[in-house]
Amino acid sequence: MQSIFTFPRGIIFNTFLLAIVVFTLTGCGDSEQIRTYETRKPEDVFAENHIEGAKPPERTAPPMMSAPSTEAVGEPARMFGAMVRVDDQTWFYKLTGPVDEVNKIVPQLRDYVVSMKYENGQPVLTKPEGWEQLPGNQFRFATMKIPAESGALEMSISPLPSSEEELLNAVANINRWRGQLGLGEIKSTDIEAAGDDPSLEISKASQDGRTIYFVNIVGEQKSTGMRPPFAG
């Protein structure tokens, strides 16, 4: 049986193409488009906004929290330091200031540390005439302000847990202090050979069966931020 209706080939082909176009338009209308973004390097942004020859900022890690310092950086300075082990802690005394002014009070500072009494592992602080005691904070047990010609000098007092190796602990901390003034390191034999003369760079004293290690050093104050003593 032959079909009653017949369609020209051209009409059928055109209808097929129209269907494809409609399907393509309706099917893709709601699809998401892929977008690309471009970020610029900090160095390129810096170059466009600064004069020629300027250096872009270095990418560094966030700075560590540090205690404020009143010590002049780059100036000649004398440091008096002392450390003494009491039970399971080592107590540190440190003062830095003008070379001649600190030198005048070194004997007084040494006598103060040697005469210190300790109760429950902590120093019983006294205030010699003219001295002022400031409250402690997260970095220090206390601060003693000591009168001097150019103004009050500050001696910090702070503790840290002790190690079993007392001599090695003393060497490490003395070298840390020496490094703050741009000085070279010492060895344990230098401490073992030290006497009791406080005018020398290294000296020792005895107190109730304990050994007190002293430093009296001169150098150039370095920018070190907060560098606490080394725990054992």
Question: Which residue, among 229, 224, 65, has the nearest Cα to 160 in the 3D structure?
Answer: 229
Dihedral, CA atoms, 93, 94, 99, 105, nearest 10 degrees? Answer: -30
**What amino acid is encoded at 83 in this protein?**
M
The closest of 80, 82, 84 to 166, measured between CA atoms, is 84
| Integer Cα distance of 11 and 23 in angstroms | 18
Tokens linked to 165:
């190796």
pLDDT digits (tens, 9 = 90+) for 40-81: 555 564 555 544 554 444 443 333 333 444 455 668 999 999
Taking the complete model, does pTM exceed 0.75, yes or no? no
DSSP state string for 82-121:
EEEEETTEEEEEEEEE-HHHHHHHHHHHHHHHHT-EEETT
Q: What is the pLDDT of residue 149?
A: 86
Unique residue bearing structure tokens 């907060």: 226
What digits encode the pLDDT tens for the residues 18-47? 445 444 444 544 444 555 545 555 556 455
> For residues 124 and 144, what is the distance between their CA atoms, to the nearest angstrom?
13
